[in-house]
Amino acid sequence: MFARLEKFLSYLPWTGDPKPIVPVVRMSGVIGEGQRFSQALNLQGTAPLLEKAFGIKDAKAIAIVINSPGGSPVQSGLIFSRIRQLAEEKEKKVIVFAEDVAASGGYLIACAGDEIYAHEASVVGSIGVISAGFGFVGLLEKIGIDRRVYTAGESKSMLDPFQPEKEDDIARLKQLQGEIHTYFKDLVRNSRGERLKAPRKQLFSGEVWVGEKAVRAGLIDGVGNVRDVLREKFGKEVRLPVMNARRRLRVPFVSTRQAPNPVKDLLAQLRSEALWAQNGQ
């Protein structure tokens, strides 16, 4: 108990502890809304940790460790924006570290860092947009089930997985993907600026990069892990407290969870596995 109290007091600015502090926020998992993916990475879950980290007044910088294959471009953009808002408001430098993978939306979040580092074997990049799903038309025909859909609005049932694909729907989807891709490319250009070295066509093709190649392409600033890089920057005595979410009190006999849905859970798991697999994980 006393050891924990001493550790807590060492982080307070009035103790006079000369050791530098760099709070660490870890972000791991597929990016998306919580009900779609289990243990999803989204703004709702990360905002309290970011507030806690940036709230440490004597922090020399904020470290963010990312391990994500991507996911929702909206949640990725929201997390990116919140990090930059806090960095400007608190006047703190943000240093990002990629672990196994920071690809697609994971790399978008990484661009919120003033500097980005990765392991020699980390996979980064994948600056592109992908949409994947399943078609069940043949299955319904095989088991003798009719799909009945009634809409007001000709595009309301676009890409319904229980109906045959339509060329107009595919064209509309590609248009939407192009708009999101433009947003992604502009964000990377604004964040990395002149540090980008590889040809733009190659950088924004959806290709992934590893270690030193990512450095030469300008996607990251160096190779290294969070402990080694921060000790080099701020000294061997630097403290690296990891921000943890507050535990919520459990109310007995009350549950806010929906009833289990095996099909929905299976599809969510398949989407998650596909995102990790795209980056060799």
pLDDT at 238: 94
Among residues of the chain, what percentage have pLDDT more than 70?
69
Is residue 180 in a domain? no
Entry pTM: 0.76
**Domains contained in the chain, number:** 1
Is residue 197 in a domain? yes
Is residue 141 in a domain? no
Q: Determine the average pLDDT of the residues in 76-82.
A: 95
pLDDT at 52: 95
Amino acid at 156: K
Is residue 178 in a domain? no
Is residue 139 in a domain? no
Range of the domain at 40: 2-130+193-277
Is residue 146 in a domain? no
Is residue 203 in a domain? yes
Confidence of residue 244 (pLDDT cuts 50, 70, 90): confident
Look at residue 251 and tell me whether its pLDDT is greater than 50.
Answer: no
CATH number of the domain where residue 217 is located: 3.90.226.10
Is residue 160 in a domain? no
